[in-house]
A and B are shown apart, each in its own frame.
Chain A
Amino acid sequence: MNKKQKITIFSGLAAITISFAIWALQGFHLFTHQKIEIQLPQSDVDKLLGQPPRYEWINHFTLGLEYTLAFTAIVISISIVMFFLFKNKRKIN
């Protein structure tokens, strides 16, 4: 394994590790969310009417496992291709 191949493997592993770290930090969601629910503050009237807090959707990207796995597959494929491209070619006398 030459230097370029080592860099390819380590870069690929780093990218995969980072994507899984982001997925874990964002809550281990199975599917990618484009929006998240936020709880709205209750008004005095709503409290008197016995209404529980309402929720609103706001735009917020949350990475899911399906996108993480797809990204991992792409990184592995590119790494394999690059690994073979960077292979030392022997000179034939």
Chain B
Amino acid sequence: MKTSIKVISLSILFAVSIFPQGLPSGQAGFDVKASGVQTFSFKDAKGRNQTTFTSITALDEVDGTSNEVDGKISFDVKNVAATLKGEISIATASIHTGITMRDKDLRAPKWLDAEQFPKISFTIKKVTGVKKLAANKLELNLLGIFYLHGIKNEIPISATLTYLDESPVTETREPGDLLGVTAKFQIMLSKFGVKNMVLGSRVADKIDIGVNIVGTNKF
């Protein structure tokens, strides 16, 4: 009898140590008022959603932003890991770096070719390593297809999702439940067919990207 109690206790301790939030990561979701599948749109007419880009070389540091974010993601509130899907994109021509000539160059065929490839996007393929940071906050690893300059490559992204039920506070931004997404990742321009001669000297091959966007389920 004592052995059985010991085995059960150890099993519980083991389970608790593996799943500190009490749920396997595959079933982790938000503990919020909303339920079922929710779809969030990240198109903000006021341009408050932002992606940032940083290139650091010995010669120069280039910081860029884009506020023309579009796309939708959907998931079952109680089971985000297994149901999360969607695509987020930005308009290639919307990238600004503070230098007018450089912005024009970026859009030109020798760089990102905004005319031929007007969109840069990320499509979610798989979700792994879901950690519940709070009742309305999840940290997860996304594996997806990054599309740039007409080329698709699979890349991993670490993201944090924060869910806010609709309230007088959220209405100050926009109606509906809100989903805040922050993510940071890196891409190599050369893997996307960008092979400009100044790559590596004035512009780094490795670009750090930040995503800071908020979506609403009333759109």
Contacts and interface: CB of A to CB of B under 8 A. Distances in A.
A46 B46 CA distance: 14
A55 B52 contact: yes
B100 A45 contact: no
A50 B169 contact: no
B197 interface: no
Contacts of A52: 182, 210, 212
Interface size range of chain B in the complex: 20 to 34
A5 interface: no
Contacts of B169: 44-45, 48
B171 to A, nearest CB: 9
Given A30-B59, A49-B180, A55-B52, A35 B96 contact: yes
A2 interface: no
A44 B99 contact: no
Please report whether the interface of chain A is mostly helix, strand, loop or mixed according to DSSP.
mixed
B108 to A, nearest CB: 17
Nearest to B136: A48
A43 B182 CA distance: 16
Interface string B30-73: 00000000000000000010101000000110010100000000
Nearest to B59: A30
Nearest to A50: B162
Please report whether the interface of chain B is mostly helix, strand, loop or mixed according to DSSP.
strand
A50 B96 contact: no
B98 A57 contact: yes
B214 interface: yes
B30 to A, nearest CB: 13
Contacts of A51: 180, 182, 212, 214
A65 to B, nearest CB: 10
A54 interface: yes
Contacts of B60: 30-31
B124 to A, nearest CB: 19
Interface in B168-219: 169-170, 172-173, 178-180, 182, 210, 212, 214
Contacts of B48: 54
A44 to B, nearest CB: 6
Contact of A49 (B65, B100, B214): B214
Contact of B98 (A36, A43, A46, A49): A36
A31 B55 CA distance: 14
B173 A33 contact: no
Contacts of B160: 50
Q: Can you list the 9 inter-chain pairs with the closest CB atoms, starting with the nearest?
A: A49-B180, A35-B98, A45-B173, A33-B98, A50-B162, A49-B162, A30-B60, A54-B50, A34-B100
Interface of B: 48, 50, 52, 59-60, 63, 65, 96, 98-100, 102, 137, 160, 162, 164, 169-170, 172-173, 178-180, 182, 210, 212, 214
Interface of A: 30-37, 43-46, 48-52, 54-55, 57
